[in-house]
Structure 1
Amino acid sequence: MSMTPSDVSIGVAPDAPPEPARPPAAAPRRSWSPIPLITRLHFYAGILVAPFLAVAALSGLAFVFTPQLDSLVYRNELRVAQVGDQANPVSAQVAAAVAAHPDGTLASVLPAATPDATTRVVFNLPELGDRQHTVYVDPYTLRIRGTLVTWFGETPLMTWIDDLHRNLHLGAVGRVYSEVAASWLWVLVLGGLTLWLHRQWTVRRRTRRLLLPDLTARGVRRTRGWHASLGVWLAIGLIFLSATGLTWSRWAGANFSTALSALQAHSPTLDTTLPGAPPSPTTGGGHHGGAVGTGDAVDVTAVDAVLRHAGAAGITGPVDITVPTGAGQGWLVAEDDRSWPVRLDRIVVDPATGVVARSDFADWPLLSQLSKLGVQAHMGYLFGIVNQILLAALAVGLLCVIVWGYRMWWQRRPVRADRRAPVGVPPARGGWRLLRWPLLLVGVLSTIAVGVALPVLGATLLGFLAVDLVVTAVRRRTGRSTPGTPAAGSREGEPVSG
């Protein structure tokens, strides 16, 4: 039987019945579960932010032990050669420092807090900017043990490590790095906790592995167990470091300060103007108490009377005495004991009459108190060596979590011949489209609010979304598959190699 060309169709027998039309794919059901969205956010944030966190952890680990490093490096400046029977009056110690350092303006005095410590006499010099010269005086012999360039009382070594931790020695530009780390740390911790709890309860139907890894597991499951269980142990500490670090960051810290102002929760300022004198252009509470020397001659013999009045008022222990900024100004004496229980009371003293103004730490607003205590704990001062050990454990633990996170990324890479990739593929995108509208609306509004409060978090999140959209668009134009599709034969989105 002959066939006409119209009877022939490519790949179909002439007499085959036409294929029935496939029904359109059903629209995915919307869910109340944000797990797919959190999974993708945790993955991308972990990959991209982990280097910032690693640098912050390493530099923070170095800063934690700067008191011990200072004791080794600056032993000659910080300690006396031999403890004597009787220390000279503080005024004589200041006079010795002034004689040895005729340049600059006397700014503050920190009398020796322990029998083997030196007295620190601080001078402002215009060419040093916010740095100062600190002269170290032996209270027993009046010998000058050394002079260092200091910053808010920090030695050069501590200042160097502090700058590394805060801004990588890049100034204002470098502070972006530390704010990225602090802004995302709490997001990663809470996201990881959510995923781990969901996995143990919903997927595995067990909770005993929340705190301990499954040592019988292999491959990516074993690595995930170490990564997640250690993260649970570190969670509270890491969130604390994130919150306290943000309080003095550049942009989020400014918003925090604005909130304290709106709530009238700042620590109170202390006016150093003496009764009957013209109003002071500056008040106490800034750099070394807020006073900056004006160059006027200061009667250093008055410091002994100031200390007597301070002792009578209960201001004892380590103190920072700021000299008057000019005529009609009093001496500001501030306690500087930052270990628990802290002693941070301040008074203004007229050497002739006594205490004329006072501000006690107990009277500070609660938020201001918590902020101050949080900063001291963040820096490792509040609980002494115990505080240092806890911070060191957090830093080392965070580094381990980061290493295991990258190892999971490597272990999840496709290894089949037709699906090879150098690293693991990200979770499937589009999780937000599966959320129910009320949950999606709450999520969007919450994200906007957090992004406004934490501008660096908001900006980097937008950057992540932009990169993700660009990569997806390029893949679609080139015909490549969208990343995030589970490999054939995998379970729960894990590659066959797991």
Structure 2
Amino acid sequence: MSKPNVSFYNLAWRWHFYAGLFVAPFMILLALTGIIYLFKPQLDPLLYRELMVVEAGHHRQGADTLLANVRQAYPQGQVGQYLPPVSAERSAQFVVHDGGRELNVFVDPYSGQVLGEQDGKQNLQAIARALHGELMVGTVGDRLVELAAGWGIVLVVSGLYLWWPRGRSSAGVLWPRFSARGRLLWRDLHAVTGFWGSALLLLMLLSGMTWTGLWGKQYADLWNRFPAAMWNDVPKSDKEARDLNSAHRQTVPWAMENTPMPVSGAHAEHAGHHMMDHAPAAPQVSLQQVEDVATLRKVEPGYSITLPTSADGVFTIAVFADDPRNDATLHVDQYTGQVLADVRWQDYSPVARATELGVMLHEGKMFGPLNQLVILLVCLMILLGSVSGLVMWWKRKPAGGLGVPPLRHDLPRWKTAVAVMLVLGLAFPLVGLSMVVMWGVDSLVVRQRALARA
């Protein structure tokens, strides 16, 4: 093997090592919470059967009757959202903010009876989603997940370079050497799953990045451009649709997050109202009328209706559909019932469409169970890759040391490596920033060692 390759290999090895130690714990957590969230469509009706599954009846109660029953059951609560039943055997759901808690309240759509409640933030799926998105510690967690995903991309790129066969036979490259024992077997498992999973892993990491607070927001602001005319020149508030999404609940599709929320009643006799932003909502349009708008405009079942919270707020009908071609986001004036905006798949830009497809593949929703199985496989590969990497490190780690691969200074090919790192660092600023920090720490460690030897 020629010398330059060895040295460049050495640099890639070192960065792969650092990135791996930092990323592995996050990847294990993301894979485990991802698997739980992946099977939400199957798990929820099983776990919460008495709340979610009802016997199909003949006549459904109107949305207004159901709303009145919920308000009677929660006199102090504020109803934030209504989710009509997705099928004949499913209950209707209301999101109620009551005494500082967010509750999912389930109602039998035929009898109108309140079936019960679950804590909106403390149920299995909400916890899995919040852990997956921000480790349940808000913004700091979101940045850490973003950093881990960015470094995950560095890991895949440097890992592929390290895996590159360079004239070796296919054993240990395309499939593991099962006759091997100990560290060699772990190395093969690590390299081979990494190779086969690399394309899917990059898709998962990149599509996941679109949810993040820093990079994802910039990305959305850059690519989610809609013609102003789509809002029919309706007056806009300074709120964005992303305010309707939270760590544990997604309401509007990703492509809509940076769009402005229109204002209700600007042309009506309530024009004076929108001066009083703090005034409560007093809709003159009923919930049933808004549901009728959704039915009339053929919005895919599974949509939610978010109720206005202020005098100039709007009703928002939104579906983040399993097949993004059925995505819909409609804003309805709370006084006149006029549809102020109606945005669908065909209105998305090509980049927004590609991103929505990526997001749906990421969530395992595009092709039903098949997509779920593929993503489950990716999660298992991530788990195997992370665990095998940690085992390899543990087996070769010297007592009392980290076992950082030594750095050689004869690096004729270093320019390519630096170029790749620069591109990744610029594409993902958080990664770039941490690279600079790492570089500093690494140089200090190297210098300390050199001084110790002297």
Q: TM-score, normalised by structure 1?
A: 0.73
Alignment match of 1:109 (pick from 70, 82, 103):
82
Give the distance between the partners of 1:392 and 1:363, measured in 2 at CA. 32
Q: CA deviation at 1:65?
A: 2.8
1:133-162 deviations in Å (ceiling 9; x for gaps): 4332111111001233426xxx73322222
Give 1:211 shift: 2.0
Describe the shift of the 1:424–1:478 C-alpha distance in structure 2 as closer, same or farther (beyond 3 A).
Answer: closer
Q: Spell out, residue by residue over 1:439-494, the C-alpha distance to the aligned partner (whole angstroms, 9 max, x if none).
A: 62x654553453243233223323333333233223223328xxxxxxxxxxxxxx
The question of whether the paired residues in 1 share the 8 Å contact of 2:171 and 2:177 is answered with no
1:142 aligns with 2:109: no
Aligned partner letter, 2:281: D
Tell me how far apart the structure 2 counterparts of residues 293 and 106 of structure 1 sit (CA, whole Å): 17
What is aligned with 2:186?
A: 223
One of 71, 96, 100 as aligned partner of 2:73? 100
Q: 1:397 aligns with which of 381, 388, 410?
A: 381
Q: Measure, in 2, the Cα distance between the counterparts of 1:399 and 1:327.
A: 49
**Preserved contact between residue 66 and residue 112 of structure 2 (Cα < 8 Å):** yes
Q: Once superposed, what is the RMSD of the aligned Cα atoms? A: 3.6
1:34-433 alignment to 2 at 5 Å? 34-80=8-54, 82-124=55-97, 128=100, 132-150=102-120, 156-197=123-164, 200-202=165-167, 204=168, 206-207=169-170, 209-260=172-223, 265=225, 271=231, 286-287=243-244, 288=251, 295-299=280-284, 302-324=286-308, 331-336=315-320, 338-340=321-323, 342-349=325-332, 355=339, 357-412=341-396, 425-430=403-408, 433=410
Determine the C-alpha separation between the residues in 1 that align with 2:314 and 2:402. Answer: 65
Alignment identity in percent? 28
- After superposition, the Cα gap between the structure-2 partners of 1:312 and 1:66, relative to the gap in structure 1 and judged at 3 Å, is closer
> Could you say what secondary structure the match of 1:226 adopts?
helix
Unpaired runs of 5+ in structure 2?
Answer: 245-250, 253-260, 263-276
Q: Report the TM-score when normalising by structure 2.
A: 0.79
List per-residue Cα deviations over 1:260-301 (Å, max 9, x = no partner): 2xxx54698975997xxx76565766414669996333356x
- 1:233 and 1:268 map into 2 onto residues whose CA distance is 44
Any idea what the Cα deviations from partners look like across 1:101-128, whole Å, max 9, x if unmatched?
2334443321111111111223456x64
The CA deviation at 1:427 is 3.2
CA distance in 2, matches of 1:201, 1:32: 11
**Aligned equivalents of 1:452, 1:408: Cα separation in 2:** 31
Aligned with 1:146: secondary structure? strand
Amino acid aligned to 2:411: L
- The aligned length equals 424
1:318-338 CA-to-partner distances (Å, cap 9, x unmatched) read: 2222345566776433334x2
Assess if the C-alpha contact under 8 Å between 2:176 and 2:192 holds in 1.
Answer: yes
For residues 422 and 402 of structure 2, the distance between their equivalents in structure 1, rounded to whole angstroms, comes to 30
Q: Single out whichever of 348-357 and 156-165 deviates more from structure 2.
A: 348-357
Cα distance in 2 for partners of 1:228, 1:32 equals 18
Q: Which runs of 5+ in 1 are unaligned?
A: 1-27, 414-419, 481-498
SS at 2:42 equivalent: helix
Question: What secondary structure, in the 3-state scheme, does the structure 2 residue paired with 1:381 have?
Answer: coil
- Partners of 1:349 and 1:356 within 8 A in 2: yes
Note if contact 2:134-2:143 (Cα within 8 Å) is conserved in structure 1.
Answer: yes
Distance 1:78 1:273, change over 3 A: farther
